[in-house]
Amino acid sequence: MLKTWYFVLLCWLSLQLEANPGLKVRITQKGLDYGRRIGMELVKQAVLKETFPSWSGQESLSVVKVNYVISRLRINAVDFPETSASFIPGTGICLSVARASATISADWRMNAWLLKGKGEITVSISGLFISIIFNVSRDSTGHLSTLLHNCQLSIGSVKVKLSGRSSWIYSFLSGYLEKPIHTKLDKNLCLNIKYKIQMMDAQLKKHKVLSQIDTFAQVDYSLLSSPAVFKSHINLDLKGTVYPVGNHTDPPFMPAPFALPNQGDSMIYLGVSNYFLKSASLAYYRAGAFNITISEELATTFSLNTSLLKYFVSETSLSQAAACPVLLNLMATLPPAVSLNADRCVLQITGSVEVFAALPNSTTQYIFTGNLTASTTANLTITKQKLIISLLLKRFQFSLLHSNLGFPEQKSVVENFLSYALRRVVIPVINDKLGKGFPLLNLAHTSLTGPAIKMNQGHLVISTDVHYQPVDREDEDLHSHS
């Protein structure tokens, strides 16, 4: 019995693992190099702001015991002339820094036999080499997780200079401080890095895997499996399902496998599957985004009025009134069908439409009802880290189901009216609803540069570089926009 359950569990687990991703992200060596450059700059800034606890110690100088306290330790300058980052296949990422140097100053107090003194200490460290490897994996909740795997350190030299109301003895003693500082660095630097990576991991765990798109939909960016690390890139497989807000029932279809192109000239490649777009269409449908009501206000704004229907309604009471606004209720009756082809993305909306006139005495008059299928092509653009879809009406089919006015001879008038209404009013209203766009990257202060979209059968690939803007620059940007 237990064995059977174990088997079932294994099958279930392997099924879970075999799920195809809806979105794929690839970071190339070029992306890693950019990340390293930005990363080292940030590390430099962080190190310069770092505060350290004071410490005390004892050294014996032949028979004399010297007690000392080092306090107010601060790093004045750091230099990382040689850094590199590389992918370690199957494991993670290696970062190394060679020939690094730092100047540290601190206050010292010393107490040796009959001598007492205090002053400032300057420590110059040079020829520092650090190489760290950290593992990247997926945690149980689908977050990216990082773990220090290996840290190697070697320190070229440590030079200590004491100043203060000093006499020769202190300069002499400074030589004795070099060894404990060396030891302390040796012991603590890797520990410190390990701690920093743990903090980064905790930060990653706090990152929301579910991202709100707008009032209709959310997208699940959780990792499906641990990142696959290759020599030239790292691949992340993300769930990439779009849900209506508040209901995370998976759609009744599965992602199909697809592959990213073998290119490395952009920093990031992002694969968007047909599944992602289909789940988005379903989510927006379920959330009612394709139920469109053209109110009197909208009809007036867009000059959607009975003058467009004048032949159609010529024998009715409407003809006596001046042009009245035409109200429209469009209800999608199926989730819009999305298909991605090599050269375009097509979205077909199937639904019914009800048409009314808003009479001057504030009542509405029903005009007609029909079934509608509108074929649109989706224009995909990327603006501010977001994939924005806007629809363009290609053609539509209409069949009149019911009319208060009797079926008109002039079917083309109705079609002309609908064509106008769809192009000028309904599609812009849908585009406005979709206009918030799908967030592609969730990195603070980072923008995409030169993104390009390539459509393929069943998926599309976005290739892009990224640009990091330090905080103050972004503040400026915000001000110039407001």
Ligand X SMILES: *[C@@H]1O[C@H](CO)[C@@H](O)[C@H](O)[C@H]1NC(C)=O
Four-CA torsion 45, 46, 51, 52, nearest 10 degrees:
-110
- Closest CB to ligand X among 174 and 365? 365
Give the nearest distance from C-beta 90 to ligand X in angstroms: 5
- Closest CB to ligand X among 262 and 363? 363
- Closest CB to ligand X among 117 and 335? 335
Asked if 303 is part of the footprint of ligand X (rule: CB under 6 A), the reply reads yes
Asked if 363 is part of the footprint of ligand X (rule: CB under 6 A), the reply reads yes
Give the nearest distance from C-beta 390 to ligand X in angstroms: 6
Give the separation between CA 360 and CA 344, rounded to whole angstroms: 45
Asked if 399 is part of the footprint of ligand X (rule: CB under 6 A), the reply reads yes
- Closest CB to ligand X among 124 and 416? 416
How many residues form the binding site for ligand X (CB under 6 A)?
28
Total residue count of the chain as it appears in this document: 482
Q: Please identify, among the stretches 154-162, 187-195, 231-239, 359-367, the one whose residues bind ligand X according to the rule CB under 6 A.
A: 359-367
Give the nearest distance from C-beta 150 to ligand X in angstroms: 8
- Tell me if 237 sits within 8 A of 220, measured CB to CB: no
Dihedral over Cα of 408, 409, 415, 416: its sign = negative
Q: Please identify, among the stretches 23-31, 177-185, 219-227, 355-363, the one whose residues bind ligand X according to the rule CB under 6 A.
A: 355-363
What would the two tokens of residue 36 be? 């390293």
Q: Please identify, among the stretches 6-14, 138-146, 300-308, 411-419, the one whose residues bind ligand X according to the rule CB under 6 A.
A: 300-308
- Tell me if 328 sits within 8 A of 308, measured CB to CB: no
Give the nearest distance from C-beta 473 to ligand X in angstroms: 26
Dihedral over Cα of 247, 248, 252, 257: its sign = positive
In three-state secondary structure terms, 295 is: coil
Asked if 413 is part of the footprint of ligand X (rule: CB under 6 A), the reply reads no
| CB-side neighbour CA atoms (13 Å) of 358 | 16
**One residue of 61, 359, 413, 455 binding ligand X per CB under 6 A:** 359
Give the nearest distance from C-beta 329 to ligand X in angstroms: 7
Asked if 44 is part of the footprint of ligand X (rule: CB under 6 A), the reply reads no
Q: Please identify, among the stretches 69-77, 152-160, 302-310, 337-345, the one whose residues bind ligand X according to the rule CB under 6 A.
A: 302-310
What does the per-residue mask of binding to ligand X show for 256-295, with x meaning CB under 6 A? ------------------------------x-x--x----
Asked if 333 is part of the footprint of ligand X (rule: CB under 6 A), the reply reads yes
- Tell me if 460 sits within 8 A of 272, measured CB to CB: yes
Asked if 361 is part of the footprint of ligand X (rule: CB under 6 A), the reply reads yes
In three-state secondary structure terms, 430 is: helix
Residues with Cβ within 8 Å of 140's Cβ and at least 6 positions away in sequence, in order, are: none
Burial class (CB in 10 A: 0-12, 13-18, 19+), 344: middle
Residues 85-114 that bind ligand X (CB under 6 A): 90-91
Asked if 317 is part of the footprint of ligand X (rule: CB under 6 A), the reply reads yes
Give the separation between CA 35 and CA 28, rounded to whole angstroms: 10
What would the two tokens of residue 31 be? 């992306």
- Closest CB to ligand X among 78 and 148? 148
Residues with Cβ within 8 Å of 290's Cβ and at least 6 positions away in sequence, in order, are: 284, 330, 331, 332, 336, 349, 351, 430
Residues with Cβ within 8 Å of 108's Cβ and at least 6 positions away in sequence, in order, are: 68, 69, 70, 71, 118, 119, 120, 121, 162, 164
The CA R_g of the chain, rounded to the nearest whole Å, is: 33
Where on the chain is the footprint of ligand X (CB under 6 A)?
90-91, 135, 147, 149, 247, 249, 286, 288, 291, 303, 305, 307, 317, 323, 331, 333, 352, 359, 361, 363, 371, 379, 381, 390, 392, 399, 401
